[in-house]
Amino acid sequence: MSFPENRFRRLRKTNGLRTLVTETRLHPTDFVYPIFVSEIVSEPEEIKSMPGIFNYPLGKVAAEAKRAYELGIPAVLLFGTPSKKDATGSESLKPDGIIQKAVAEIKNAVPELVVITDVCLCEYTDHGHCGIIRDADVDNDATIDLLARQALSYAEAGTDMVAPSDMMDGRVEAIRQALDYGGFESLPIMSYAAKFCSAFYGPFREAVNSAPKFGDRKTYQMDPPNAREALREIEEDMDEGADILMVKPALAYLDIINRARIQFDEPLAAYNVSGEYAMVKQMVSSGLADEKRLTLEVLTSIKRAGADIIITYHALDAARWLRE
């Protein structure tokens, strides 16, 4: 059958009909809300390129986490900025480090909220790379030892999940082993499995002052043209014991999200990154789009592509709109 028997517009006629045939529905429980906690601010400080997103000092971070929880968002993802950075990111291993303290503060205030911690060195190294430097490049195997110790330290501080974002080879296995030996065999790992070397991370690097001081991240993050390699990265992390797999960024990589969804049955997360957030905010501040419509369209596209979990700076706003 075809036109005039078939008319797609019949089911678009009213809000009720459109609602009835909606294929993809966002819900606040889809979201993970990233939160920045910093040793160098004493009051919440807005990140210039990310309107509405702040660096929080200890003592103020639990309140923000609680706002997320009260809107029905199940999890937060923490990023920390230490006051001192060095060549090996040693601040990240301290039991009284910024993330360790923030985890304790949030778990104490909102015990039901899932607290996920980003595991990486770039926020803690003075050179801004995600690992230890040897011969002007990041040394893979020395770095994964440190990442495993960092993950264990966060586990001891009470995190509910660790999320390695460094893109070293073998880091999921190293972290899994360290957690298991440390008695944390039940602590899940969300792996940034297919993380691309993207120009969309600019605002994040401003937020945590983590831009590499020399070179770039091309020797460890993935090359944007490669889709089959992304699937191999994901499979490898699954084999090494990752519990949740992530594709990052989201919008320029919806094809990767969709292929991963079709090929793998593990829970799949997508990271709607800082530059994607900033683009939306720029369009809105220029009067070129309605913020609610634009944001919900972006988030719906990520879910439609196949993500189960959307990590997004829009989480609080979107949760409010979805509850209206």
Footprint of ligand PBG on this chain (CB under 6 A)? 118, 120, 122, 130, 165-166, 201, 204-205, 273-274
When the beta carbons of 150 and 165 are compared against ligand PBG, the nearer one is: 165
Residue 218 bears catalytic tag: no
Please enumerate, as own/partner, the contacts of 43-46 that have beta carbons within 8 Å and a separation of 24 or more.
none
Return the residue matching tokens 């160098």: 40
Q: Find the shortest distance in angstroms from Cβ 116 to ligand PBG.
A: 12
Least distance between ligand PBG and beta carbon 108 (Å): 25
**Span between the terminal Cα atoms of the chain, in Å:** 40
**Smallest distance from ligand PBG to CB 59, Å:** 24
DSSP-assigned beta bridge partners for residue 117: 78, 162
* Closest listed residue to residue 73, CA positions, set 322, 324, 265, 251: 322
Closer CB to ligand PBG, 90 or 109, in the complex: 90
Check: CB of residue 267 under 8 Å from CB of residue 245. yes
Query: What's the CA gap between 78 and 66, in Å, rounded?
Result: 14
Catalytic residue, chosen from 85, 101, 107, 195, is 195
Per the DSSP assignment, residues forming a β-bridge with 270 are: 247, 310
Q: Which amino acid is at 181?
A: Y
Least distance to ligand PBG, CB of residue 74, Å = 19
Catalytic residue flag (residue 248): yes
Nearer residue to ligand PBG within complex by CB, 23 or 307:
307
> Among residues 85, 101, 248, 303, which one is catalytic?
248
Residue 273 or 298: the one with the smaller Cβ distance to ligand PBG is 273
As annotated, the active-site residues are 195, 248
